[in-house]
Copies of this chain bind each other. A is one copy, B any other.
């Protein structure tokens, strides 16, 4: 129904109605990717830059074109501000977009971001005219610093990329949400639908998922599941949830309760 049309949000002035950004990594086949894109309802998908591979099967670019989605290049695999900046510039040349999902990784095992390199890279890319969407930790101060240097969104992790652990520190996400007017996009950690719903309920504007969808047993069904979960979380947030109470609150009135008397039999079955 019209009155439940999901409210939109905007990144760098671009209005978006889908709150799911889909990472294209990990899909077994391009056909599955295409189906998942359609089920997810996403408007933006991420891609990476790699050397031309003559053996490559099919054209990712063609598939994404057919799906009519916008390509958001990332800088996956970069461990320094320097490499990330160069990679972003190449992505701009290749895809003709000045948007970049900025990743500067600090550790191979956890793929966690390197706060200092990330901040330097963000600063340089903003100066170079990029719309910078940084993949960052859940550190609220780093988030503010990224905002200060001119990033277009904050993309904090819930837990490590592909870990499926969900949101390890909801408190920090809440702080990030409170302090910024930028869009907050949960990036990394989502394992299943409830994680995505929770992220939105905590105040995130959108969720980026790759592995949770692409590596599910049925990626297309999971794409739809997470799309619905995000819609559910958004509706719930806007519907104004009940407060958490320490004790119960009856959902049935006491008034008018009947009173029965069975003198014949003890009030309780036990003790007998």
Residues of A at the B interface (CB closer than 8 Å) are 4, 23, 25-26, 48-51, 53, 74, 76-77, 80-83, 86-87, 90, 106-107, 109-117, 119-121, 123, 137, 139-142, 144-145, 148-149, 159-165, 168-169, 171-172, 175, 179, 191-194, 196-198, 201, 210-212, 214-219, 221-222, 224-229, 231-258, 260, 262, 265, 267-272
**In the complex, what distance in Å separates the CA atom of A231 from the CA atom of B160?**
27
Identify which of A83, A90, A192 gathers the most chain B CB atoms within 10 Å of its CB: A192
Across the interface, do A257 and B77 meet the contact criterion of CB distance under 8 Å?
A: yes
A170 to B, closest residue via Cβ: B168
Across the interface, do A229 and B226 meet the contact criterion of CB distance under 8 Å?
A: no
Residues on B with beta carbons closer than 8 Å to the beta carbon of A113: 141
Task: Tell which of B86, B111, B243 touches A248, judged by Cβ atoms closer than 8 Å.
Answer: B111
Across the interface, do A161 and B249 meet the contact criterion of CB distance under 8 Å?
A: yes
Across the interface, do A162 and B77 meet the contact criterion of CB distance under 8 Å?
A: no
Across the interface, do A25 and B252 meet the contact criterion of CB distance under 8 Å?
A: yes
> Known interface pairs A111-B250, A145-B106, A194-B197. Does A162 touch B245 (Cβ–Cβ under 8 Å)?
yes
Identify which of A25, A172, A262 gathers the most chain B CB atoms within 10 Å of its CB: A172
**In the complex, what distance in Å separates the CA atom of A219 from the CA atom of B140?**
31
Task: Tell which of B49, B238, B256, B258 touches A218, judged by Cβ atoms closer than 8 Å.
Answer: B238
For the complex formed by this chain, how many copies does it contain in all? Answer: 4
> Known interface pairs A169-B168, A231-B228, A258-B87. Does A251 touch B161 (Cβ–Cβ under 8 Å)?
yes
Residues on B with beta carbons closer than 8 Å to the beta carbon of A239: 216-219, 221-222, 225
Contacts beyond the supplied A163-B245, A222-B235: 16 A-B pairs with Cβ under 8 Å: A77-B257, A106-B141, A109-B248, A116-B269, A120-B269, A161-B250, A162-B250, A163-B244, A192-B201, A193-B236, A194-B229, A197-B197, A212-B242, A218-B240, A225-B232, A229-B236
Residues on B with beta carbons closer than 8 Å to the beta carbon of A234: 225
Across the interface, do B262 and A82 meet the contact criterion of CB distance under 8 Å?
A: yes
Minimum CB–CB distance from A42 to chain B (whole Å) comes to: 15
Residues on B with beta carbons closer than 8 Å to the beta carbon of A257: 50-51, 77
**In the complex, what distance in Å separates the CA atom of A239 from the CA atom of B145?**
39
Q: Which 9 A-B pairs have the closest CB atoms?
A: A217-B240, A50-B256, A106-B141, A162-B249, A25-B251, A225-B235, A76-B252, A193-B236, A210-B251
